[in-house]
Amino acid sequence: MELRSSFSLGLTGGIGSGKTTIANMFGELGASLIDTDLIAHQLTIPNGIAINAVRQQFGNEFIQPDGAMDRAKMRELVFAEPSAKAKLEQILHPLIRQETKKAAGQAVGSYLIFIVPLLVESGNWKEKVSRILVVDCPEQVQIQRVMARNGLSQDQVLAIMRNQASRQQRLAAADDVIVNQGDLQAIREQVAGLHHQYCQLAQASVKNHP
């Protein structure tokens, strides 16, 4: 999947960091947003393009009556069996790449932002985008936000965080960082400054790739 023909940004951050809020601020300023989590979700909704392959691989018991994948049942299986996780990824990852590329080809904004929660973990996004923006906040803030938002216990949130890159690993991969401690006005100012910079880089990219 070649995404480097013009300026693009990879946006990531840990669970509860505020990625979606900040991405939407960029979207309001004119950036095109491509959310890989949303794309992945759409693959397994009723009539989603991954449903037939999931049914063939795992059986009808993993498809709900409405035709969507049974996420709770699948989650239990992939946690219990690493081989099942690998099989699901073999189905979903090529389709996510296909649909992400299609969305990029249809985008009309000032520049592209790929929202990739596991950008650092996936390892190859650094070569696909022009810059990486990390949304950062203290880990205790992440924990409190996710507990309040999702109704999870602290242990459950910590278990999710252990399966993600560490804060230090994300910051090491970043070209730019937005610190989100909840002050929306301060965040908007950071977003506006970076958006101006990204628009300039996007214009330069167009000149270099006519």
- 116: domain CATH number is 3.40.50.300
Sheet holding 8-13, edge to edge: 32-35, 112-115, 8-13, 131-136, 176-179
If one counts every other C-beta atom within 10 angstroms of the C-beta of residue 62, the result is: 19
pLDDT at residue 64 in the model = 96
Can you read off the two tokens belonging to residue 91? 């189905």
Sign of the four-CA dihedral 106, 20, 134, 25: positive
Shared domain for 67 and 128, answered yes or no, is no
Shared domain for 128 and 175, answered yes or no, is yes
CA distance 62 to 69: 6
Which stretches of the chain score pLDDT less than 70? Answer: 1-5, 207-210
Shared domain for 78 and 131, answered yes or no, is no
Write the CB contacts of 120 (distance below 8 Å, at least 6 apart in sequence): 12, 165, 169, 170, 173
pLDDT at residue 1 in the model = 43
pLDDT at residue 205 in the model = 79
Quick one: angle between helices 51-58 and 82-106, nearest 10? 170
CA distance 131 to 201: 10
pLDDT tens profile 166-178: 889 999 999 999 9
Shared domain for 61 and 79, answered yes or no, is yes
pLDDT tens profile 55-81: 999 999 999 999 999 988 998 898 888
* Structural domain count, the chain: 2
| Alpha carbon 84 to its chain's center | 22
Shared domain for 56 and 102, answered yes or no, is yes
CA distance 22 to 161: 20
* Residue 69 lies in domain: 37-108
Last residue of a domain, one of 108, 132, 149: 108
Last residue of a domain, one of 48, 81, 108: 108
Kind of pairing between the strands at 176-179 and 32-35: unpaired
Shared domain for 47 and 101, answered yes or no, is yes
pLDDT at residue 45 in the model = 96
Can you read off the two tokens belonging to residue 76? 């239990």
Shared domain for 91 and 139, answered yes or no, is no
Cα within 13 Å of Cα(157), Cβ side: 20
> Which amino acid would we find at residue 16?
G
Shared domain for 132 and 208, answered yes or no, is yes
Shared domain for 154 and 132, answered yes or no, is yes
Shared domain for 115 and 104, answered yes or no, is no
Shared domain for 98 and 115, answered yes or no, is no
Q: How much is the pTM? A: 0.86
Last residue of a domain, one of 83, 108, 133: 108
Shared domain for 123 and 188, answered yes or no, is yes
